[in-house]
Structure 1
Amino acid sequence: MGQSQPITRLPVLIIEDEPVLRIDAIAMVERAGFEAVEAMSVENAIVILERRPDIRILYMDLDMPRGVKGIEIAAMIRSRWPPIEIVLTAATFVAADLDLPVRSEFYAKPIDRLQVVAAMRRMAGHLPG
């Protein structure tokens, strides 16, 4: 018999500061077959991205505390890590009002989990490897 290769799940970085919403996003991502990597803040996410070059999909809440502008953070991540696909969500924004970074998609809260998972799978299908 041939040796089997270990199954590796594509990691998805989740940036969500609200614990209940982060737990919900982690469950959604893991049920979809991805590896959930959690970040409780933008600063925490940057550290993770610097250490994890295998992350190619980001799921991020734009509603950030303390005046942080989530859309600017998403644009910075797009600029610094061009290969990353971005899924953005928020309760206080409307897609038409946002200048979305290239290769990103926006979903208003409450999100439709099936649509978000379909977007992640579509994004994963476009990744090299």
Structure 2
Amino acid sequence: MDQHHDAVQLLFTDVHMPGNADGFDLARQTNERWPHIAVVVASGRAAPEPGDLPEGATFIGKPFSAEVVRHHVRKTLPDERHPKQLRT
């Protein structure tokens, strides 16, 4: 992210990741350092508590379908930043 943050439009992460940080930590750090990056966090085992997600981030509970992901990405990203595949 340090090198390519200008090219990143969206962070889609799971809550559970290897290492000491989790997806909530990654979402908050991303929002603090690169507020232009939209954030979607998913999990089938954890739900966000107050303060877990940064302002404007979206949470998706598992299991989910591809259509649910498309819907949340469309909702999270401004229209002009939608990838070509999501433009209506």
Answer yes or no: same fold by TM over 0.5.
Answer: yes
For structure 1, the residue ranges without an aligned partner over 5 or more in a row are 1-45
Runs of 4+ in 1 over 6 A off after TM superposition: none
Q: Higher relative contact order at CA 8 Å, sep ≥6: structure 1 or structure 2?
A: 2
TM-score normalised per structure 1: 0.53
Q: What is the number of residues matched between the two proteins? A: 79
Name the amino acid aligned to 1:76: Q
TM-score normalised per structure 2: 0.73
Structure 1 residue 124: Cα displacement: 3.9
Structure 1 residue 102: Cα displacement: 1.2
Which residue is 1:125 aligned to?
A: 79
Matched-pair identity in %: 24
1:57 touches 1:124 (CA, 8 Å); kept in 2?
A: no
Which residue is 1:70 aligned to?
A: 23
In angstroms, what is the RMSD of aligned CA positions?
Answer: 2.0
Which residue is 1:115 aligned to?
A: 68
The structure whose Rg is larger is: 1
Write the deviation string for residues 82-103 of structure 1: whole angstroms up to 9, x where unpaired. Answer: 01111110121124x3521111
For structure 2, the residue ranges without an aligned partner over 5 or more in a row are 82-88
